[in-house]
Structure 1
Amino acid sequence: MNFRVYMLAIAAFVVGMVELIVGGILNLIAEDLNISVSSAGQFITIFSVTFAISGPILVNLTAKLERKKLYLYMLAVFLISNVMVALTSSYAAIVAARALAAMSGSVIVVLSVSMAAAMVPESHKGRAIGIIYMGISGSLVLGVPVGMMIGNAFGWRAPFIVIAVLTLLSMGGVALFTKRTAPSPVVPLRRQLASLKDSKIISAQLIGLLLLTGHLTLYGYLQPFVDATFQISPQMMSAVYFLFGIAAVLGGGAGGWISDRLGTKRAILGITASFSVSMFLVLVTSQTAFWLFLPFMMLWSGLSWSIAPAMQTYLLQLAPDHAETQFSLNSSMTHLGIAAGSIIGGAVMDHGSVSDNPWVGGLIASLAFGMALFSFSRRTKPAAEREMAAAAAK
């Protein structure tokens, strides 16, 4: 595999880390800025919402720019935004910086995928794209424990300084080793959204949104939940997040095996149902002993990423002629789910107790099972009918 692909994957990993990195240091941020933990949690929300909305728009607006130059511009904006977070104490300024990081990051992720695919022969495009997505998914689950470890040792601003340094190194690597890449034709935004008129497709996209919403209702506030329940040390909390991350990565790999063995639809139904149940088991075992809680927490973590292979395959089956569009929309749905879960989780904490977050998240996740049943029951539109809808959207 072309080493430049791995370099782009590292850049995508750095971008992905920023989204959830605050999840494990919410208490440190809240204390330093003199705000509530739920208010600090909105730093995740603003990033996720901005990422989901701005990605398709900015990619279309920058369609005519040479891709390497655009990549470096976006990395520079990303670098500045993280330096802003590290240096300011203003809540409003941090919110603005997080939005700026999300806008630039959304373009970087898309460019990483398209440039990686352009670097390799046709027979290796799938592997190249897979490597980029491994970097992204790995960052989402490992960003929190890394942020916790650095934040607890050197203060909550330190992780953002580390991110800025890594971004600077990524800029150097891209500038020195990647070639100029001509822009690819971009599907107009209206045409991308036209597929959402198909009830089978929109309900399929909502599966991931609901699952991630339920997941982040607890995961976005896992640190205060575990701390309130078991009152463990910061070092042990870092270990909890590392175990969570390891389980999530293993779950992603197991999800592909499950999908191949059971078939796409059975895998989606089985995983969504099991995921919802696992969140209730996390709540039950949190009332017992820490050693009993950990394996069920890891089960919940593994299930959270295990649905991705089955979902991507299902979307490909639904619209093979617009696969990239569906993957892009699925990414937006994922980030909207992250944002919605952060908002709901914060509201649950403000109006009740963090101990309520698991069952609220479990109920929301259970709706994903119902949405899957609904999607499977809808008629699949033939390609010609989809083309007519896309042409009407031009």
Structure 2
Amino acid sequence: MTDSSTSSRTTSAPTSAAPSAGPALRALLFGNFVIGAGVMVVPGTLNDISASLDVSIPQTGLLITVGGVLIGLGAPLAAGLVAGWDRRRLLALSLLWYGVFMAASACAPSYGWLLVLRALAMMPPGIFTPQAAASVGLLVPPSQRGRAITTIFLGWSLASVLGMPLSAWIGGVMGWRWAFGLVALLALVGAAWVWRVLPDGMRPPAISRQGWAQTLRSPALMGVVAVTLFYSFSQMTLFAYFAPYHQQMMGMGAAALALLLLWFGVFGLAGNLLLSRHIDRLGPARAVTMTLVGIALTLALWPLSRAFGAPSFWLHALIALPWALCGFACNSAQQARLVQLAPALASATIALNSSAIYAGQALGAALGASLIAQGLLAHLHLYGLGLVLIGLGVSLWAGRRASTVPGAAR
């Protein structure tokens, strides 16, 4: 996009489709891929980190919890602090920070150092993901926002297709440090790409104190954010410990685990692509309901993989299919739902939603670690099922309150 296509201080969405928005959306998609790969590199290499640094699985899971807490607290705070920043510079610098501290994490000499460096590395996800989504409104007209937002969130699905399985394989064959190093390299590439293709002067309108008050006082908007907290909490209770679960309960080695994660990721990408194509017709709220039901179905059927004697890899993969199709798609639908409900409050709601994602991940990792310490590794799915059903109930309630959102799109 050339400078002539945007003003030096863009504050509103274009009125027609910008033909040059494609390169910017692809750069943001890649940035989300890198962010997702970095977030999920710990679950993928959990076993190797534990063995390499001589710490327990629950203690290693603290790497997920600490990062999630920092991002959860930092995302809404960052939304206020960076309100006036040019988004090209902000997004590029956040990926640069990510690359530097992921590289430093790869060189950590001990678990204590890794914990500190990992926490610092996890600051950019609280900035990049919500601010990339909020910037979409400056690149495409309102009628295309839903699809554009779900498109850039395909990066997270791609991270599950390539990032997490690859990190699991690299961790099993070469060691976790190489997996962290690969993410660092990709982050630097992403920073250069964003810097090159995003236009100057992208400054979404800052959310006023009144805007934050409207967001926080809206039962419907905060209900939608709570849905994100519950489904993220639900998934990460089990997903954070995929590596030890499948090693101990299913007898899988590194290659089988990488294959399962690849299966999970391929269908996660497929689910997000399907959602991106049909979300404007279905409506974001209905799409969220469908994805939550899919996650719940897998968690309810999860024990069947070991119910008929020796664990079956392909039966397990089949049972995981609804979760794979719906897990990442649910996140994209939630982002689109918030933008549709209150476009003028998108910067605040998406920041809060991102905060809820990582807070849920932190809670899930902490709950999973606690359950494993109590010898309840085999029962993680039950807790996840209960949490996602709570999220489904909250989602249906929030849908009935949608008309009460201040300035909601009708």
Shorter-chain TM-score range:
0.7 to 0.9
Q: 1:356 aligns with which of 359, 371, 379?
A: 379
How many residues end up aligned between the 2 structures? 385
Task: Give the match's secondary structure for 1:230.
Answer: coil
Letter in 1 for 2:265: G
Q: 2:48 aligns with which of 25, 28, 50?
A: 28
Residue 347 (structure 1) aligns with:
370
Distance 1:87 1:123, change over 3 A: same
The alpha carbon displacement at 1:141 in A equals: 5.5
Quick check: 1:216–1:341 contact (8 Å CA) kept in 2? yes
Distance 1:150 1:229 in 2: 22
Tell me the TM-score normalised to structure 2 length.
Answer: 0.82
Q: Deviations over 1:214-266 (max 9, x none)?
A: 11111111121111122123111110100011122222344467867776655
Residue 283 (structure 1) aligns with:
303
Q: Deviations over 1:68-107 (max 9, x none)?
A: 3334433332222112211113323222222222212322
Distance 1:71 1:374, change over 3 A: closer
Q: Does 1:144 align with 2:164?
A: yes
Q: Does 1:222 align with 2:242?
A: yes
Letter in 2 for 1:59: A
Distance 2:28 2:290 in 1: 34
Q: Deviations over 1:270-289 (max 9, x none)?
A: 54344223202112323333
The alpha carbon displacement at 1:156 in A equals: 0.6
Quick check: 1:52–1:332 contact (8 Å CA) kept in 2? yes
Q: Deviations over 1:47-68 (max 9, x none)?
A: 2222222122223223344443
Residue 237 (structure 1) aligns with:
257
Tell me the TM-score normalised to structure 1 length.
Answer: 0.85
* 291-300 vs 122-131, which moves further: 122-131
- What are the equivalent positions in structure 2 for 1:1-394 lying under 5 Å apart? 1=20, 2-113=22-133, 118=138, 128-140=148-160, 142-188=162-208, 191-192=211-212, 194-255=214-275, 267-288=287-308, 289-290=311-312, 291-308=314-331, 310-312=333-335, 314-316=337-339, 318-378=341-401, 380-381=403-404, 383=406
Distance 1:172 1:316 in 2: 28
Quick check: 1:255–1:305 contact (8 Å CA) kept in 2? no
Distance 1:189 1:14 in 2: 32
Distance 1:146 1:235 in 2: 10
Quick check: 2:106–2:180 contact (8 Å CA) kept in 1? yes
Q: Deviations over 1:109-136 (max 9, x none)?
A: 3444455654567776665544322223
Letter in 1 for 2:383: V
The alpha carbon displacement at 1:200 in A equals: 2.9
- Unpaired stretches in structure 1, ≥5 consecutive residues: 387-394
Q: RMSD over aligned Cα, in angstroms?
A: 3.0
Distance 1:275 1:257 in 2: 20
The alpha carbon displacement at 1:164 in A equals: 1.7
Distance 1:155 1:62, change over 3 A: same
Task: Give the match's secondary structure for 2:404.
Answer: coil
The alpha carbon displacement at 1:180 in A equals: 3.1
* 166-175 vs 360-369, which moves further: 166-175
Quick check: 1:259–1:309 contact (8 Å CA) kept in 2? no
Distance 1:235 1:92, change over 3 A: same
Quick check: 1:115–1:181 contact (8 Å CA) kept in 2? no
Distance 1:331 1:22 in 2: 19
The alpha carbon displacement at 1:190 in A equals: 6.8
Quick check: 2:134–2:346 contact (8 Å CA) kept in 1? no
